[in-house]
């Protein structure tokens, strides 16, 4: 998958889950700077990502999906 494409799709999903504009999501977005990123939103994020990218995020990785960079890395790994 092309880099930009993945970036855009990820931003799209995150913006839907966190109820912000896609432009507000960037490389540095994380649980620390996105308001309302709680356990409920984390659940919504995992469900949405698995659906959007057709992957199953491993159990041990789910708890680490707390910032844009890590999520992107994990997805890249899964999509290889």
47 binds another protein (CB under 8 A): yes
| Cα 4 to Cα 60: distance, rounded to the nearest angstrom | 27
Q: Which stretch binds another protein (CB under 8 A): 25-33, 58-66, 67-75?
A: 58-66
Q: Which stretch binds another protein (CB under 8 A): 11-19, 26-34, 70-78?
A: 11-19
How far apart, in Å, are the Cα atoms of 56 and each of 7, 23, 24, 27, 48? 18, 27, 26, 22, 11
| Cα 68 to Cα 54: distance, rounded to the nearest angstrom | 18
Which residues contact another protein (rule: CB under 8 A)?
Answer: 12-13, 16-17, 19, 36, 38-40, 43-44, 46-48, 51-52, 56, 59, 62-63
């Amino acid at each position: 998958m092309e880099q930009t494409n993945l970036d855009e799709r990820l931003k799209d999903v995150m913006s839907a889950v966190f109820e912000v504009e896609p432009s507000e999501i960037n490389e540095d977005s994380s649980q620390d700077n996105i308001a309302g990123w709680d356990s409920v939103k984390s659940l919504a994020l995992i469900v949405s990502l698995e659906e959007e990218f057709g992957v199953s995020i491993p159990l041990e990785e789910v708890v680490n999906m707390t910032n844009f960079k890590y999520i992107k890395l994990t997805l890249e790994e899964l999509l290889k």
